[in-house]
Chains A and B, each alone.
Chain A
Amino acid sequence: MAYDKFEVLTSTAYPLPIENVDTDQIIPARFLKATERKGFGDNFFRDWRYDSEGNPIADFPLNDTKYEGSKILVGGKNFGSGSSREHAAWSVYDFGLRCVISSFFADIFRNNCLNIGVLPVQVSAEFAQKLFDAIDADPKAEIKVDLPNQTVTLLSTGESESFDINGYKKENMLNGFDDIDYLQNIKEEVSAFAETRPF
C-alpha cells in the first residue's frame, strides 16, 4: 500500500497535551469492523470529539476551527500506547495528518505510522513543551518538519531540534516505498533461510 512521499512539511498543528493517549482513544474498538481501509478518519478520537449523543465537542482541539487543516498533531508523552491496531495510524492519516510529534511514542504505534507514511517525530520534553506553549499563544504557529535534514523547527522563533530515524526507514518515507516491496525482492534468500528452520 504505497503512500505519498514525505520530504518537508510546514504546517500549523493540533495540540493534545495529554499523556499516555492509548490507541483505544485514537480509534475505539467498535470502529474496527471494516474489511477495507476506508473511513477511519471519521472516527479518529471518536469518544473525545463527540459526546454520547453524537454532538461534536467544540472546544476539543481536533474539532476547534482555529486549528483546522493542520497536518501535524503534537501529542503528550507516551502517545499511542496499548493495542497494536494499525487502524489507529490509518485514522491519523485519513484525518489528514502526516506527522505526529511527541516526547515519547509507544513502540507498535510508532512502527505502524512508519509503515503507512505518517512520520513520528520524537523530541525532548522541553521542546514539546515549547511547541505546546507556542500553539497556545498563537494557534497559527507553524512547525516545519524537515525529513532530509531530520530537524523540526518552530518557525516563529527559529528554535529547532533534530530527531532520529534509521536510514532505511528514512529512505522509504522520502520515496513512498514500503517494506513489502523490499521483502518481495529477497524471497529467494527467505526461502533458503526457511529450509533451515526446525519447525
Chain B
Amino acid sequence: MSKTLFDKVWDSHVVRKIEDGPDVFFIDRHFIHEVTSPVAFVGLRSRGIGVMYPERTFATADHNTPTWNQHLPVADPLSANQLEALANNAAEYGISHWGLGHRNNGIVHIVGPENGITLPGSTIVCGDSHTSTHGAFGAIAFGIGTSEVEMVLSTQCIMQPKPKKMRINVNGALGFGVTPKDVALYIISQQTTSGATGYFVEYAGDVFEDMSMEGRMTVCNLSIEMGARGGMIAPDEKTFEYIKDRKHTPKGADWDKAMAYWKTLYTEADAEFDVEFNYNASDIEPMITYGTNPGMGMGVTQSIPMAEDVQGGVATYKKSLGYMKFGEGDNMIGKQVDYVFLGSCTNGRIEDFRAFCSIVEGRQKAENITAWLVPGSHKVVDQIKEEGLDKILEAAGFVLREPGCSACLAMNDDKVPAGKLAVSTSNRNFEGRQGPGSRTLLASPLVAAATAVEGVVTDPRTLIKETA
C-alpha cells in the first residue's frame, strides 16, 4: 500500500506491535526541561533503573527561567530548585545540559533545530505539547507526559497507538501582511480547538512549500492547538539547507547517507489519509483571537461572532467572552491594549523579530503599552544584534530581554496582571495563561508590533506599504 510521509516515519520506528494495544515506539531524540522531568528522575531512582541512552536526551532550562539579569542567582526558590534538579539529574545520568547562561540555552523547541538535533525522518518527544514544532523538518514530534519521560529515559521507547492521518492543504498565495502565524490561527479557527484530536497532520500545498523553515516551525508548533498530536511537512531543499553543518547534524559520508534516506520522505501520490481539508490562501487575513481558546480566532478586521452563530455550547461561549470582558459583535480593531509579548516557541525566532522591526522602525512604542520582547535563544539574540535590529528596537523605545518561555505561560516573573489585556505572539489564550486573571489576544508579530506602536489593536496593513 502506498505510504504517507507520516506512515514512513512512524512504521520505521515501531519496535513491536501489541495486539489490541499500542505500538512500542522508538524515540530518536528526547528533550527535557526543568518542569516536566524531575518527577521522572524520582521514578527512575525509586525503581532502581538507569538511563538507557543518555546521548539521545538533551536538557535545557526554559520554562521558569528569568528573562532579566540571568547572571544573578534565580530569586524564586521553587524555580531555582527545579533548575538545580535539572542540572543535577543531567550530571548524574550523563545527559548534556544547557542551563541558564549556557551559550546554547534557550527555548527547547528553538535550540533543538538550531543545533541540528532535529532531523528529518526522526522521532522526537519532550514533556511539552509544543514539541510538534519539530515536525517542520519532516520529523514525527509530539508532547508527552512525565510517565512517558520516564519511559524514554529508561528504555528510549513509549507506548502509543498510531494516530489517524489528516492532511491540510493550503494553496494559492498569501496576501500582504499575512504571516505563518495567521495561516495557523486560520486553520485552527476552522478546525476548532478539538477538530484534529486523534490525528497527526501533514501540511501540504503551495503555502507551506513557499514558507521559510521558521514559518513552518510556527505552523507545526500550533498543531496541538486544534487537538492534533503533531503536524509535519515533507523535507525539501530548504530543510536540508537549514540543517546542514549544524552542531549535531550528520557530517561527510553520514550526511550523504542521511540525504539518500531523507529524499524518500514524502507522501506518495496515491497514499490515503483518513481525512483531508483544503483551504485557500486568499481567504486568510491577519488573525486575532477574541476568546479563551486558540480556536476562537478571526480576521483582525472582523467582529466577534454572536453566540448563536458558533459551534458548541452557548454557556461555554458566554463564559469565555465574560472572562475576556468582550461582547458579541464587538470589533477588535481599536480595543485598548496594556501589554505586548513578542516571543515563545511559536514566534521567538529571528524572522519574528525582523517582522516586528519592519513595523516599529521609525515609530515609537505607545505610552500605554508594556512590551516584553523575548528572543527564543542566545543564537536569536546574536542574530538580532548582527542585523542591527536591536538598534531599531531601542530607537523605538523597546527593550530586548533574555531568552526563555517567559510570559507565554508566566511561570517566571513575566506575568500580565489581572484584568490587563495583552496581544501575544505565543500559543495559548486560556484563562490565566499569562498570569492569574490576564486576558490574551493571540496574533502574529506584525499585529503585535502594530498594536505596540498604536496602543490599540491595529491591522498591520494600515502601517506598512505593500511591495510589489
Give A residues with C-beta under 8 Å from B. Answer: 1, 17-20, 22, 24-25, 28-30, 32-37, 47, 52, 76-78, 81-87, 89, 104-108, 111-112, 115-116, 166-169, 178-180, 182-184, 186-187, 189-191, 193-194, 197-199
Contact = CB atoms under 8 A, between A and B. Distances in A.
Contacts of A193: 15, 26
B319 A107 contact: no
B250 interface: yes
B406 to A, nearest CB: 12
A180 B51 CA distance: 13
10 closest residue pairs by CB, A with B = A168-B21, A167-B20, A86-B145, A84-B143, A33-B78, A112-B145, A35-B38, A115-B147, A78-B194, A86-B146
Q: Is the interface of B mostly helix, strand, loop or mixed?
A: loop
Interface in B1-47: 15-16, 18-22, 24, 26, 28, 35-36, 38-39, 42-43, 46-47
Given A111-B145, A197-B28, 19 more contacts: A18-B315, A24-B431, A29-B410, A32-B411, A76-B316, A78-B193, A107-B197, A108-B129, A108-B144, A115-B147, A179-B151, A180-B151, A184-B155, A186-B155, A187-B155, A190-B15, A193-B26, A194-B26, A199-B254
Given A179-B147, A184-B155, A189-B16, A33 B79 contact: yes
A168 B18 contact: yes
A81 B227 contact: yes
B52 interface: yes
Nearest to A35: B38
B343 to A, nearest CB: 16
Given A107-B198, A184-B154, A37 B42 contact: yes
Interface string B223-235: 0100101000000
A56 to B, nearest CB: 16
Contacts, number: 208
Contacts of B82: 33, 35
Given A180-B43, A190-B157, A86 B36 contact: yes
Given A1-B43, A22-B293, A169 B229 contact: no
B402 interface: no
A180 B154 contact: yes
A28 B433 CA distance: 8
A34 B146 CA distance: 13
Interface bracket on B = 35 or more
Nearest to A30: B411
Nearest to B35: A32
A86 to B, nearest CB: 4
A15 B202 CA distance: 37
Most buried by B among A52, A76, A107, A187: A107
B409 interface: yes
Interface string B33-67: 00110110011001101001100000000011000
B194 A104 contact: yes
Contacts of B19: 167
Nearest to B154: A180
Given A107-B197, A189-B15, A52 B26 contact: no
B257 interface: yes
B265 to A, nearest CB: 13
B81 A33 contact: yes
Contact of A112 (B147, B161, B163): B147
Nearest to B56: A194
Contacts of A107: 163, 197-198, 227, 229
Nearest to B312: A19
Contacts of A37: 39, 42
Given A52-B418, A76-B313, A76-B316, A47 B129 contact: no
B156 A33 contact: no
A86 B227 contact: no
B161 A24 contact: no
A19 B268 CA distance: 38
